[in-house]
Amino acid sequence: MKFDRRTLLKGILGGAVVTVGLPPLEFFMNSHGTAYAEGASGFPQRFGLFFWGNGMSPSRWVPEDEGAGWTLSEQLLPLANLQDDITLVSGMRVHVPNIEPHHATACGILTGRPLILDNNGHTFPGPTIDQVIASHIGNETLYRSLEFGAEPGSGMSHNGPWSLNPPEKSPIALFERLFGPSFQLPGEDAVVDPSLGVRRSVLDAVMGELKKVQGAVGSADKIRLEQHLEGIRSLEKRLAKLEEDPPNLEACAYPNQPEAEYPDIEGRPQLKEKNEAMCDVIALALACDQTRVFSNVLTKPLTNILFTDAPAGHHNLTHDEPEPQPEVNNIVIQCIEALAYQLEALRAIEEGDGNLLEHSLVLATSDVSNGKLHSADEFPIILAGTAGGKLKKGIHLRTVANENASKVLFSICRAFGMNLADFGEEEGLVTESLSAIEV
């Protein structure tokens, strides 16, 4: 296994090196003789991020009781059918400085590091958790990771500073990308397209040119070009895989084709419908092992989108609606319903004796806890699935007050077999994971 050069470069830029230690032995072995991150079941582990904007209402979110068999709170009721598959973590705080409301805490919960902020804008200092995991388990699949989201916007998945992975916002485009003409079902007869080889030679030439340009530019631009190279490399690898037989996975099938368009209704985007269509596509993309990492940004930080039936934009309402904020509450519930759909779509796919959700870990979170206050404490954190038996499920864990939220990210890395000494930076740095959720 080679060092991930991109991660190293990002680490250098961020001022601290992300150490990627040697993985446990099991990562080296599988029946195909390729590195293969597996849970106990023998099925690959997958990671997903589910993100919605503007947080929740702690008083309607945090359950009254702890442990197994906890009682669902009002805003978590949509997860009733999934309670045995999730772990709710409450009481944590995102410790990075809250210098730019919404963005600083979004950065903190996804990277464990402080936001980079200057007079001209802000960006994330390092990779978000989905990319940290993708750097570890994303190298064997057609796509290292897939980003999508129902609200048009900038997405949350970052590789490093000024390096965003823009999400696909159109369900039909996501479908075409993953299940278009180049897709092949296991066992399907297919003629290898002779132009693939030519395309790969072109990519080789492009990589040569990128390296030549790297020699002519400053250090910051070298890192940018390294990211571009990474994209070309993964594209080339994908073309090479298209010349091979697809993985023989029983659950792999074509998803339903989404609608061509989802026009706004009364000025309100069809968030629910778009989310459901994309969740259906992504579940089968995972089942076909086209990718093992996804991020779903239902709505973005600070979103002011008009939800169905809402009398004003979401962000507006969080600040302007008087307590007890019934409209905000309705919107949070809609967001958690969208999460429930995503999780049920994963659970519906059987893999061996288990299902896709069990073999996955989905982190669901937001940019703030209480949107009205931009608060960083009592942060919303839901973990669904077990990453193939590596994390507990079915419990509500209430941590000590204001426990550092980076510990959850550390636990996630551990669940995927990453052997890290610590996670995060500055106030976000932790040297211990949240062992209470680990198996």
Partner 1 sequence: MKLCPELLCAAALVLLSLGCDKSIVPSDDAFVAGPAPEITAPAPVLAKLTQEQYRNTIAELFGATVVVPGGLEPDTESDGLYAVGSTLASVSPLGAERYSDAAYSIAQQVVADPELRSKVTTCEPKDGEISGCLEEVASKTGATIWRRPLEADEVASLAALGADAVKALGEFDDGLETILAALLQSPNFLYRVTQGEVVDGARRYTSWEVASKLSYFLWNTMPDAELFAAAGANELVEDEELAAQVDRMLADPKARQGVRNFFAEWLDLFKLDDLKKDPNIFKHYAPELGAMAREETLRVAEHLVFDQDADMRDFMTTRTTFASRRLAAIYNVPATATEGFGELNLPGDGPRLGFLGHVSFLAANAHAVSSSPTQRGLFIREKLLCHGVPAPPANVNTAIPEPSDQSKSLKERLMVHMEDPSCSPCHAMMDPLGFGLENFDGVGRYRILDNGVPIDPSGDIDGAEFGGPAELAEDIANHPDYAACIVRKLYSYGNGHHVEKGEGELIDWLIASFEGRGRRLLGLFRDIALSDGFRTLGEVQE
Where does this chain touch partner 1 (CB under 8 A) — which range of 262-270, 273-281, 336-344, 404-412? Answer: 262-270
Asked if 157 contacts 130 with a C-beta cutoff of 8 angstroms, the reply is yes
Shortest distance in whole angstroms from residue 219 CB to partner 1: 6
| 163 is a contact residue toward partner 1 (CB under 8 A) | yes
Dist CA 339 CA 379 (whole Å): 17
Q: Which of residues 276-315 bind partner 1 (CB under 8 A)?
A: 304-306, 311-313
Residues 371, 373, 374, 380, Cα dihedral to 10°: -60
Q: Which of residues 200-229 bind partner 1 (CB under 8 A)?
A: 201-203, 205-206, 208-210, 213, 216-221, 223-225, 227-228
Query: CB count, 10 Å around CB of 358?
Result: 23
| 119 is a contact residue toward partner 1 (CB under 8 A) | yes
- Contacts (Cβ under 8 Å, ≥6 apart) of 193: 182, 242
Shortest distance in whole angstroms from residue 311 CB to partner 1: 7
- Interface pick for partner 1 out of 19, 34, 71, 154 (rule CB under 8 A): 154
Amino acid at 128: T
- Interface pick for partner 1 out of 4, 130, 168, 425 (rule CB under 8 A): 168
Dist CA 73 CA 64 (whole Å): 8
Asked if 165 contacts 158 with a C-beta cutoff of 8 angstroms, the reply is yes
Dist CA 59 CA 74 (whole Å): 9
Dist CA 20 CA 388 (whole Å): 21
Shortest distance in whole angstroms from residue 426 CB to partner 1: 17
Dist CA 344 CA 280 (whole Å): 10
| 402 is a contact residue toward partner 1 (CB under 8 A) | no
- Contacts (Cβ under 8 Å, ≥6 apart) of 2: none
Where does this chain touch partner 1 (CB under 8 A) — which range of 12-20, 64-72, 146-154, 349-357? Answer: 146-154
Q: Concatenated DSSP letters for 4-21?
A: -HHHHHHHHHHTS-----
Where does this chain touch partner 1 (CB under 8 A) — which range of 74-82, 190-198, 341-349, 426-434? Answer: 190-198
Please, which residue, 257 or 316, has the CB nearer to partner 1? Answer: 316
Shortest distance in whole angstroms from residue 198 CB to partner 1: 5
Please, which residue, 31 or 219, has the CB nearer to partner 1? Answer: 219
| 246 is a contact residue toward partner 1 (CB under 8 A) | no
Q: Which of residues 7-66 bind partner 1 (CB under 8 A)?
A: none
Beta strand 46-52 with 293-297 is parallel
- Interface pick for partner 1 out of 58, 91, 160, 301 (rule CB under 8 A): 160
| 376 is a contact residue toward partner 1 (CB under 8 A) | yes
Shortest distance in whole angstroms from residue 141 CB to partner 1: 12
Asked if 355 contacts 346 with a C-beta cutoff of 8 angstroms, the reply is yes
Strand partners, 108: none
Shortest distance in whole angstroms from residue 157 CB to partner 1: 9
Please, which residue, 10 or 113, has the CB nearer to partner 1? Answer: 10
Sign of CA dihedral 125, 102, 150, 351: positive
Shortest distance in whole angstroms from residue 101 CB to partner 1: 6
| 234 is a contact residue toward partner 1 (CB under 8 A) | yes
Where does this chain touch partner 1 (CB under 8 A) — which range of 15-23, 160-168, 350-358, 405-413? Answer: 160-168
Cα 143 versus chain centre, distance: 14
Dist CA 169 CA 147 (whole Å): 9
| 152 is a contact residue toward partner 1 (CB under 8 A) | yes
Residue showing tokens 């962000």: 315
Dist CA 406 CA 385 (whole Å): 19
**Binding mask 328-367 vs partner 1 (x if CB under 8 A, - otherwise)?**
----------------------------------------
Shortest distance in whole angstroms from residue 31 CB to partner 1: 28
Dist CA 144 CA 133 (whole Å): 10
Please, which residue, 374 or 390, has the CB nearer to partner 1? Answer: 374
Q: Which of residues 410-439 bind partner 1 (CB under 8 A)?
A: none
Determine the size of the site formed for partner 1 (CB under 8 A): 77
Dist CA 254 CA 185 (whole Å): 8
- Interface pick for partner 1 out of 74, 320, 350, 432 (rule CB under 8 A): 320
